[in-house]
Amino acid sequence: MRVYLAETTEDEWQTLTFEGNADQQLKTQVPEIIDYIIDKTILDIGKVQSMDQDGIHSWLEIIHTMDPEKRVSISNCPSHFIDKVNLIPQLLDNLQLTSLYLPVNCTSCKGQFEILFEDFELLSSEEASEFISKEECSKCNEKNLKPIVDLKIFLGFHTTKKRNPNAKK
């Protein structure tokens, strides 16, 4: 997969962009990626199309090897990644989640796509549902978007954590 430094924001956070399929090739890139990760790094995985078992393994190696004292965020998480986080919560170890994509369809034009949710700290399934109902369809501009996943399950990793703050050490 392609991994490159994309930009540095004004407050000096650098963005490391991941693009393509996270598969066995990622294993060879692990040392290079760990070198890239300095304090105040955003891992942007919005362009990651898939992550297989090898990709998961390498991802865990990256986040468990990097210095946990460094401030590292993960942004633009696609829904396929969030599905995996619900099975393997460790995929977010040492990371601050800042944004994710919610999969929706439009009941007016039948379009299907994902919308970005950025105010993540406040998110519950009810809030996500309300957020989706206020968004316009990017194709027909109607406000008839509906989640195509069960939001309680999709956001389970987050809401469970909030409800049981001491459940995970």
| Nearest distance in Å: CB 136, Zn ion | 8
Is the CB of residue 134 less than 8 Å from the CB of residue 168?
no
Residue 105 binds Zn ion, judged by CB under 5 A? no
Residues 44-83 that bind Zn ion (CB under 5 A): none
Residue 104 binds Zn ion, judged by CB under 5 A? no
Residue 145 binds Zn ion, judged by CB under 5 A? no
Question: Of 106, 128, 132, 155, which lies in the binding site for Zn ion, with binding defined by CB under 5 A?
Answer: 106
Question: Of 79, 86, 98, 108, which lies in the binding site for Zn ion, with binding defined by CB under 5 A?
Answer: 108
Residue 16 binds Zn ion, judged by CB under 5 A? no
Phi-psi region of 141 (alpha: psi -120 to 50; beta: other; left: phi over 0): left
Is the CB of residue 74 less than 8 Å from the CB of residue 84?
no
Determine the Cα–Cα distance for residues 10 and 25; give it in Å rounded to an integer: 33
Determine the Cα–Cα distance for residues 34 and 57; give it in Å rounded to an integer: 14
Q: In this complex, which beta carbon is closest to Zn ion, that of residue 107 or of residue 160?
A: 107
Tokens representing residue 7 in the block: 């930009």
Quote the DSSP letter at residue 159. Answer: H
Residue 137 binds Zn ion, judged by CB under 5 A? yes
Name the residues that contact Zn ion, by CB under 5 A: 106, 108-109, 111, 137, 139-140
